[in-house]
């Protein structure tokens, strides 16, 4: 039984031009996915280096210049938000009820809150963390959480394809 | 001869186990490895190109340890993905291109390491500018990895009939 008519908003999103476009070409979806992986490498690469440095790797490098790469991490995030929205519009019914997708969104949200905690809570000490200087334990805990969350985001994304997408039957 | 070996591999119990059980974990590991391998190399390339001045390039050499962890993760998971469809992969020009692009990316990484990251005295200053030749290596590196990602994605469609969202 097709229950998609029970979800008029999702049907409407699906009918919009971007979704229509992705469905109508064979190359759009794999291209968007490739870009999604490129954005992921940029975002997680930059955030990951900052986290690894805070945890003590490449200790001779001061944190501030690495922190200045964050605008580029935002470029990666923007690219992935765009491509992610295109996936969703291509077929909202694949994602809206998918548990892996929901976990992925939650992990991204938590990673954002965690990053905000880093910025407001410990980053203010940044200039003390020149090369060779130990970062605080709180900063290390936040960075370890950050790495774990971004890996969880990757897992959530990959498991969308292996998770039931069916809408709950009324 | 090679066909017999490839058939034996893809019909092996190892291959069946991957297809029936390990596949989701294997491709997830391949993505995490990608983030570590390419993500960290992107940061090194960006620094060589002049971003994040203040971070001395030889100091970033330590990141290479994690790059190699990512690479090992993807070499292992990549061999496992190959085992599922060995024959098709072996004769696929997409698969062969991907291997060449990875080789190109690794060579660029090695050359950046030897020409800049290992020159501890020459580039000790955080504000040091990388030589023009190293910047060319960094651009080629970025292009190689982006291309490897694209080819890898297409390979998934071509070989495994991966339609992305529907598994």
ipTM of this predicted structure: 0.94
Percent of residues, chain A, with pLDDT higher than 70: 97
Using an 8 Å CB-CB cutoff, list chain A residues near B51: 68-69, 72
Query: Distance between CA B106 and CA B102 in Å, rounded?
Result: 6
Q: How many CB atoms lie within 10 A of CB A144?
A: 13
Single pTM value for the model: 0.94
Query: Distance between CA A52 and CA A146 in Å, rounded?
Result: 10
Does residue A4 surpass a pLDDT of 90? no
- Classify the phi-psi angles of A102: left when phi > 0, otherwise alpha if psi is within -120 to 50, otherwise beta: alpha
What does the pLDDT read at residue A135? Answer: 86
SS3 label, residue A130: coil
Does residue A132 surpass a pLDDT of 80? no
B148 to chain A: closest CA residue: A34
Task: Supply A89's token pair.
Answer: 């519009």
What does the pLDDT read at residue B163? Answer: 45
Query: Distance between CA B62 and CA A109 in Å, rounded?
Result: 30
Higher pLDDT, B41 or B161: B41
Q: Number of Cβ pairs closer than 8 Å across A and B?
A: 127
Q: With an 8 Å Cβ cutoff, are B39 and A41 in contact?
A: yes
Q: Is A23 on the interface with B (CB under 8 A)?
A: no
Mean pLDDT of B57-66: 97
Lowest mean pLDDT among A26-30, A164-168, B144-148, B158-162: B158-162
Q: Is A64 on the interface with B (CB under 8 A)?
A: yes
SS3 label, residue B127: coil
């Amino acid at each position: 039984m097709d229950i998609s008519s029970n979800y008029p908003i999702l049907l409407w999103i699906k009918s919009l031009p971007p979704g229509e476009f992705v469905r109508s070409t064979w190359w759009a979806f794999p291209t968007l996915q490739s870009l999604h992986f490129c954005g992921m490498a940029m975002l997680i690469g930059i955030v990951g280096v900052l986290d690894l440095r805070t945890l003590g790797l490449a200790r001779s490098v001061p944190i501030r210049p690495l922190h200045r790469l964050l605008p580029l991490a935002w470029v990666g995030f923007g690219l992935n938000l765009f491509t992610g929205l295109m996936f969703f519009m291509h077929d909202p019914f694949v994602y809206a009820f998918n548990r892996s997708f929901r976990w992925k969104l939650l992990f991204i949200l938590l990673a954002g809150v965690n990053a905000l905690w880093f910025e407001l809570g410990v980053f203010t000490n940044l200039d003390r963390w020149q090369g060779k200087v130990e970062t605080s334990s709180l900063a290390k805990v936040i960075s370890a959480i950050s790495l774990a969350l971004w890996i969880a985001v990757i897992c959530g994304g990959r498991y969308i394809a292996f998770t039931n997408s069916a809408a709950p039957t009324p | 001869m090679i066909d017999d070996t490839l058939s034996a591999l893809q019909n092996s119990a190892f291959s069946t186990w991957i297809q029936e059980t390990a596949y989701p974990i294997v491709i997830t590991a391949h993505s995490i490895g990608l983030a570590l391998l390419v993500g960290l190399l992107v940061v090194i390339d960006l620094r060589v190109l002049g971003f994040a001045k203040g971070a001395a390039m030889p100091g970033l050499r330590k990141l290479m340890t994690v790059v190699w962890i990512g690479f090992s993760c993807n070499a292992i998971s990549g061999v496992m993905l190959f085992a599922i469809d060995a024959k098709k992969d072996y004769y696929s020009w997409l698969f062969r291109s991907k291997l060449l692009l990875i080789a190109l990316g690794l060579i660029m990484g090695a050359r950046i390491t030897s020409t800049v990251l290992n020159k501890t005295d020459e580039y000790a200053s955080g504000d040091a500018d990388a030589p023009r030749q190293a910047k060319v290596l960094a651009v080629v590196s970025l292009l190689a990895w982006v291309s490897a990602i694209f080819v890898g994605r297409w390979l998934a469609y071509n070989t495994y009939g991966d339609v992305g969202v529907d598994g």
